[in-house]
Amino acid sequence: MNNNLRDFLKEFFPDYFKYVDNVIEDDRVTLLFETMNRHNKCPVCGSESSKYVTYYTRTIQDLPILDKTTYVKVRFKKMICTNENCRVAYFNEALDEYVSPKRRYSNRLNDLMIKIALTNTAEGGSRLCLERHIIISGDKLLQLAKEYEPKIDKDKITSIGVDDFALKKTIDMELFS
């Protein structure tokens, strides 16, 4: 692989992803990667391990490339925990900076879909995604919107505004009690 392609891929994928191949079809692009040898921490006890027992392949939908639905297939390892006192014997290699555990969408695609879910109706957002070659159902967009927790720095909040309607409702309730 030439240096230009390697540099290009490092801009969009983690350093430990090793490019293997790609498959380009009429309506989709599939990029194939495998993880390079590295030490992984056990999520339970925190001990580092570079020993593995087997490989898995995970398919992740990513942002579209050239108006084609894009999938990334990553071959990663099932690791062996080296701590004899740990309650787990095996754990999966972490890919957290690219995709959250048990998710089928890359973190950057997930962020885009949350923005779409919060600003559109579920079915309208689903159609908007489909126009952009992102395959997602309206139900999944609703789920993403419900799971969303805004990142608020509470130390920077100096005042809170009062909602007029809530104030009116409170006053009306007091009159009837």
pLDDT digit string, tens, across residues 22-35: 999 999 999 999 99
One-letter amino acid of 29: V
pLDDT-derived band at 4, boundaries 50, 70, 90: confident
Checking DSSP bridges between strand 28-35 and strand 68-80, what pairing results, if any?
parallel
Answer whether residue 97 is part of any domain. yes
Residue 10 clears pLDDT 70, i.e. is over it: yes
Do residue 64 and residue 3 come from a single domain?
A: yes
Do residue 115 and residue 98 come from a single domain?
A: no
- For residue 142, the tally of other CB atoms under 10 A from its CB is 16
- For residue 107, the tally of other CB atoms under 10 A from its CB is 15
Give the percent of the chain with pLDDT over 70.
Answer: 90
Beta bridge partners of 69: 28
Q: Which of residues 76, 104, 132 is at a domain's end?
A: 104
Do residue 97 and residue 109 come from a single domain?
A: no
CB 106 within 8 A of CB 113: no
One-letter amino acid of 102: K
Residue range 58-99, pLDDT digits in tens: 999 999 998 999 999 999 999 998 888 889 889 888 888 899
Containing domain of residue 74, as a range? Answer: 1-104
Answer whether residue 73 is part of any domain. yes
Label residue 60 exposed, middle or buried (CB < 10 Å: 0-12, 13-18, 19+). Answer: buried
Q: Which residues contact 1 (CB under 8 A, 6 or more apart)?
A: 19
Answer whether residue 162 is part of any domain. no
Distances in whole angstroms, Cα of residue 83 to Cα of each of 40, 50, 76, 118, 150: 13, 12, 21, 44, 37
d(CA 59, CA 125): 23
**13 backbone dihedrals φ, ψ, rounded to 5°:** -130, 155
Do residue 61 and residue 83 come from a single domain?
A: yes
Do residue 120 and residue 79 come from a single domain?
A: no
d(CA 93, CA 75): 10
d(CA 12, CA 161): 41
